[in-house]
């Protein structure tokens, strides 16, 4: 983006970690002393070579259990550049037209779909029919019905489907889940989680409803919804929501500029969030019966900073993309089933909530989430 890109905004927010340690870093994240893995690696092909695919490619350079083996792109110049930069074999390079031929390529085990949201369904299903496991970026698709079709296609093809929830393997977020689900400070009563950045490029595909399915709710709000569900370990049953004012009608002619919503959970917690393309915010705060815990920066690429009512949080800064891919690869290489928290059904649950938020904002009514 011309004024302030998501990448630069999130990097500017990354201001380091706290000094005091509340709880020790989990052993799983202590990669310094870990024995180097030298077994079979899972071969991954990235489908779509935009900005986030570059983050994934860099993370895969240091991954132990998987590697970047192929690419799928509609831009020949990108194919040539990536081939040189990452030493990708010519036979592992595809475009969107000949992609289905990947069924005959035993050197590719998994396709990671990093395309605009409206294309997730098509390429997930095509990859599944080619016999490849799939990781698809969030949001999983643009409707809940699309998500269901993707899950069914992977099931019928005998392959596994994961959603790119990188924060599920990030130490600060693993700790938030523990604090919330184990009720370390008692029952969580209130969560405020918001994410936003200032958009400025009218050509950005995320401002095109046909490609994105919606505005900041689809791109950023899904992280807020995910963090609420993840920390509470519950599913919301209803939502109220409000669209924010449109201050730039030219830029936001197709999608919302900002949106605020309130999720209600069975345990009594109310979670209020805003996702926005007109201001910078990156915050998570949870208030429980006997204390609080928070992160700021919170839901971005980090590095994160956090504290609880008992003191600072301090965990290692990890490469989120490398860690996520390695953890998924370990499960697939072992021939095991992916854990529920990263599987396709998790993306479907989030999509149902996002649809309900849009309905609540459009109607002004409280919407039950089924």
Burial 270-285 (b: 16+ CB within 10 A, else e): bbbbbbbbbeebbbbb
What's the burial of 180, exposed, middle or buried (CB within 10 Å: 0-12/13-18/19+)? buried
Which one is catalytic: 65, 112, 223, 230?
Answer: 223
Q: CA angle, corner 100, sides to 96 and 106, nearest 5?
A: 120
C-alpha 131, offset from chain centre: 24
In angstroms, what CA-CA distances link 150 with 162, 239, 345?
11, 26, 10
- 223 catalytic per annotation: yes
Of 218, 197, 35, 88, the closest CA to residue 144 belongs to: 218
Of 336, 338, 350, the closest CA to residue 161 belongs to: 338
- 310 catalytic per annotation: no
Which one is catalytic: 41, 121, 138, 305?
Answer: 138
Active site residues: 138, 223
């Amino acid at each position: 983006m011309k004024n302030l890109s998501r990448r630069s905004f999130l990097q500017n927010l990354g201001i380091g970690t706290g000094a005091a340690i509340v709880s020790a870093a989990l052993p799983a994240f202590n990669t310094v002393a870990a024995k180097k893995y030298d077994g079979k690696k899972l071969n991954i092909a990235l489908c779509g070579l935009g900005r986030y695919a570059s983050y994934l490619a860099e993370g895969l350079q240091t991954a132990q259990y998987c590697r970047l083996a192929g690419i799928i792109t509609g831009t020949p110049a990108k194919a040539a550049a990536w081939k040189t930069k990452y030493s990708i074999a010519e036979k592992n390079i595809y475009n969107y037209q000949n992609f289905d031929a990947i069924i005959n390529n035993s050197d590719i085990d998994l396709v990671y779909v990093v395309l605009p949201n409206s294309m997730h369904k098509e390429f997930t299903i095509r990859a599944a029919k080619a016999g490849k496991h799939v990781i698809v970026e969030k949001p999983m698709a643009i409707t809940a019905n699309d998500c269901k079709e993707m899950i069914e296609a992977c099931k019928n093809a005998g392959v596994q489907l994961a959603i790119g929830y990188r924060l599920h393997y990030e130490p600060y977020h693993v700790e938030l889940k523990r604090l919330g689900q184990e009720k370390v400070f008692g029952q969580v009563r209130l969560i405020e989680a918001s994410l936003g950045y200032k958009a400025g490029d009218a050509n950005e595909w995320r401002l095109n409803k046909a490609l994105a399915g919606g505005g900041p709710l689809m791109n950023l709000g899904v992280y807020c919804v995910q963090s609420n569900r993840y920390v509470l370990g519950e599913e919301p049953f209803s939502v109220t929501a409000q669209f924010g004012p449109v201050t730039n009608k030219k830029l936001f002619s197709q999608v919302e500029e900002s949106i605020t919503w309130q999720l209600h959970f069975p345990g009594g917690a109310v979670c209020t969030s805003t996702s926005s393309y007109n201001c910078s915010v990156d915050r998570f705060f949870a208030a429980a019966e006997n204390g609080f815990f928070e992160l700021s920066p919170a839901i971005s690429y980090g590095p994160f900073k956090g504290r609880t009512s008992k003191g600072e949080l301090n965990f290692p800064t990890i490469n989120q993309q490398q860690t996520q891919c390695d953890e998924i690869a370990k499960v697939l290489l072992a021939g095991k089933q992916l854990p529920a928290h990263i599987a396709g059904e998790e993306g479907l649950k989030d999509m149902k909530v996002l649809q309900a938020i849009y309905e609540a904002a459009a109607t002004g009514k409280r919407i039950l989430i089924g």
